[in-house]
Amino acid sequence: MSKKAAIQRAALELFVEQGIDATTTKQIAARANTSEGNIYRHFSSKDALAETLFFDHLLPFLEALDVAVSSREHMRDRLAEVVRIFYRTFDEDRVTFSYLLLSQHQHLAKFTESAETPVTFIHRLVQHAVAGGEIRPLEPMIATGTILGTILQPATFVVYGRLDPPLIDYAETVVDTIWRALAPD
């Protein structure tokens, strides 16, 4: 692994474990087996590192969501794909998933305001489904909340040891539950 990649991985882990503020460049360097100075050869600042980490993982994730959804026509199938993507990502790399989807980043708020995020992605999905009569005529943001909340809360529970992984085992149940909540009468 290149030093740059080692720094990224070390930072990602520490940011998730402790939060960005509580993580020091010294800790990152130590875990990446390099020097503090070297971090600055690869990243212009700790904040830039945090931001890079965010978008480097967010874009492929959104891309995966996009591909999966495009491959299906019906909302229920699309939801099933979405849940599978979320949970497969979680099971494969819990740290990245947590950084992207569970952490509260006051830091990143400024960037995510304008950009595409999982929230805007699902919101669009919902709007389309409501328009097509595929789900109940709910305020789209409420439906989005139901979907995201129902998907993410179990992930939080695994992180805090309240639920046993892998999450993919719950995918079908979660999809079914969401669908019951949103399906037209």
Residues that bind DNA (CB under 7 A): 2-4, 22-26, 34-42, 44-47
Of residues 145 through 174, those in contact with its own copies by CB under 8 A are: 145-146, 148-154, 156-157, 160, 162-163, 170, 173-174
Among 57, 64, 65, 45, CA closest to 16: 57
Closest CB to DNA among residues 45, 156: 45
Among 54, 133, 59, 62, CA closest to 96: 54
Q: Hey, what's the torsion of the CAs at 185, 144, 93, 160, to 10 degrees? A: -90
Rounded CA-CA distance 101/86 in Å is: 10
Rounded CA-CA distance 164/169 in Å is: 10
Of residues 16 through 35, those in contact with its own copies by CB under 8 A are: 17-19, 21-22
Given its own copies, DNA, none, residue 73, with its beta carbon under 5 to 8 Å by kind, binds: none
Q: Which residues bind its own copies (CB under 8 A)?
A: 17-19, 21-22, 102-104, 106, 109, 113, 119, 123, 138-139, 141-146, 148-154, 156-157, 160, 162-163, 170, 173-174, 177-178, 180-183
